[in-house]
Amino acid sequence: NFMLTQPRSVSASPGKTVTISCTRSSGSIANNYVHWYQQRPGSAPTAVIYEGNQRASGVPARFSGSIDSSSNSASLIISGLKTEDEADYYCQSFENRNRVFGGGTKLTVL
């Protein structure tokens, strides 16, 4: 199985744009969809981006997803940062029936 690597933490100021990367260790990132989840402290995760660049229901347009085959990575981009965006974010993909999560990135909105 492959691994997905995310930065442990990122930070940015309100109103700014932040990008969280997710790099696949083997096999092409484009082979299987990448999904993104947000988890606030004490709560279950919720989907924010699915199938690479589709926003889940109720997710604002400030959230977007992309794929970069040259770096074999996916990215979650959050623009116009708000303090409410502060949370842990996880990327996830799959191969056959196995699902794989990245280690998670803690987003701090300063």
- Phi then psi for 59, rounded to 5 degrees? -85, 130
Residue closer to another protein, measured from CB, 70 or 97? 97
Distance of CA 101 to the CA centre of its chain: 10
DSSP state letter for 71: T
Residue 20 · residue 75 · CB < 8 Å:
yes
Shortest separation between residue 77's beta carbon and another protein, angstroms: 19
Residues numbered 62 to 101 that lie near another protein (CB under 8 A) are 88, 90, 92-94, 96-101
Binding positions for another protein, rule: CB under 8 A: 1, 32-33, 35, 37, 39, 44-47, 50-51, 56, 88, 90, 92-94, 96-104
